[in-house]
């Protein structure tokens, strides 16, 4: 029998940020919209009923079984990473891990929110009676959230292409000190780029300067960087030996608290609504960010201005 509750962040990943036994594991949750912090069970967070199912004009779509397979393999690999403190040694595991990260990058409420918010931006700018394509039988005003759901599910077909782009990056395993643990959000795979490309956007996986972060536990996170950025790091005298050794041995690199805070800030910025942590005090920094910048209470799609576009719709991962 297929589950009604379908998690957009796998329970195995959330369990890495929880305390207690498997069936009674608890995790601390921050709701960005309300600012409330509370403990919850793993089974009751980061899910929606029939999240991976669609029945409508676009046909019948179901992706729960496919994602369960990816999660099963990804969970095993991530378990090995956190226990051995090293990235996978086998090429096959590296490929499967890239598939897991690519799927996680797409399978979130943020992806659907981006699509629906972009539709609302277009309606506000040009009206609801325009068409996305001359051959489209429907105007943009006739589409809705269920169509965004269908589009986001269909985007999962591009996981192999996304994964291939991730495989081309230089991967590091980052280790946090106990004083500055990692947190995770309902949109765990986040991207950053210091190179400003203006209205074209700079978060596509092909863009120079792109960095991808995904926390695995309070102690470990994957950091994948474009080859040009990684080469610059490897040529920096104070960093060269540490990062070169990490690449050769595939071992973790000890990051400074300020590096962890930056990575955690990206989780806050790109979370659609919920942020998760192992201990309540781990959420102090996100709460401070929300007090300082109340705009962050809204998901990333809702913060977009008309001249901006979703990284999935314009200059996205497969550009």
Number of Cβ within a 10 Å radius of residue 265:
17
Q: How many angstroms separate the CA atoms of 117 and 111, rounded? A: 10
Closest C-alpha among 248, 238, 263, 104 to residue 174: 263
Q: Which residues pair with 238 in a beta bridge?
A: none
Q: How many angstroms separate the CA atoms of 14 and 46, rounded? A: 9
Q: How many angstroms separate the CA atoms of 168 and 224, rounded? A: 9
Residue 4, burial from CB neighbour count under 10 angstroms (0-12, 13-18, 19+): exposed
Mode of pairing for the β-strands spanning 210-215 and 220-225: antiparallel
User: Which two structure tokens, joined as six digits, stand for 205?
Assistant: 């996986």
Closest C-alpha among 288, 299, 277 to residue 14: 277
**pLDDT at 304 (0 to 100):** 56
Sign (positive/negative) of CA torsion 91, 96, 100, 106? positive
For residue 256, what are the contacts with CB-CB under 8 A and spacing of at least 6? 177
* Chain centroid offset of residue 117 CA: 18
Give the pLDDT of the chain (319 residues) as one tens digit per residue: 677 889 999 999 999 999 988 778 899 999 999 999 999 999 999 999 988 998 877 678 888 888 999 999 999 999 999 999 999 989 999 999 999 999 999 999 998 888 888 888 888 889 998 887 788 888 888 888 888 888 889 999 999 999 999 999 999 999 999 999 999 999 999 999 988 877 777 888 989 999 999 999 999 999 999 999 888 887 877 777 887 877 777 888 999 999 999 999 999 999 999 999 999 999 999 999 999 999 999 988 766 543 333 333 333 444 4
Sign (positive/negative) of CA torsion 74, 274, 208, 309? positive
How much is the pTM?
A: 0.89
**pLDDT at 145 (0 to 100):** 83
Q: How many angstroms separate the CA atoms of 278 and 304, rounded? A: 31
Q: How many angstroms separate the CA atoms of 17 and 29, rounded? A: 11
**pLDDT at 60 (0 to 100):** 81
Give the H/E segment covering residue 282: none
Residue showing tokens 């809702």:
302
**pLDDT at 241 (0 to 100):** 80
Closest C-alpha among 94, 104, 95, 105 to residue 71: 104
**pLDDT at 260 (0 to 100):** 95
């Amino acid at each position: 029998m297929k589950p009604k509750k379908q998690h957009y962040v796998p329970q195995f990943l959330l369990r890495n940020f929880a305390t207690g036994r498997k069936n009674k594991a608890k995790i601390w949750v921050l709701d960005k919209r309300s600012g409330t912090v509370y403990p919850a069970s793993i089974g009751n967070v980061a899910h929606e009923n029939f999240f991976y199912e669609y029945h409508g004009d676009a046909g019948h779509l179901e992706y729960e079984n496919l994602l369960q397979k990816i999660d099963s393999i990804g969970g095993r690999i991530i378990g090995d990473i956190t226990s051995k403190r090293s990235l996978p040694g086998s090429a096959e595991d590296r490929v499967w891990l890239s598939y897991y990260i690519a799927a996680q990058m797409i399978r979130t409420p943020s992806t659907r929110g981006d699509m629906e918010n972009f539709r609302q931006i277009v309606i506000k700018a040009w009206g609801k009676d325009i068409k996305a394509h001359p051959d489209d039988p429907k105007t943009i005003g006739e589409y809705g959230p269920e169509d965004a759901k269908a589009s986001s599910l269909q985007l999962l077909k591009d996981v192999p292409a996304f994964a291939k782009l991730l495989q081309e990056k230089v991967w590091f395993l980052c280790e946090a000190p106990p004083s500055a643990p990692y947190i995770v959000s309902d949109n765990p795979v986040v991207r950053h780029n210091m190179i400003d490309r203006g209205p074209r956007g700079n978060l596509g996986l092909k863009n120079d300067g792109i960095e991808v972060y995904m926390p695995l536990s309070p102690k470990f996170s994957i950091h994948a960087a474009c080859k040009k950025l990684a080469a610059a790091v490897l040529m920096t005298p104070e960093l060269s030996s540490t990062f070169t050794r990490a690449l050769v041995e595939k071992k973790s690199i000890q990051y400074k608290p300020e590096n962890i805070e930056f990575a955690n800030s990206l989780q806050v910025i790109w979370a659609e609504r919920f942020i998760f942590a192992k201990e309540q005090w781990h959420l102090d920094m996100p709460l401070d960010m929300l007090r300082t910048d109340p705009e962050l209470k809204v998901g990333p799609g809702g913060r977009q201005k008309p001249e901006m576009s979703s990284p999935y719709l314009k200059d996205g991962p497969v550009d």
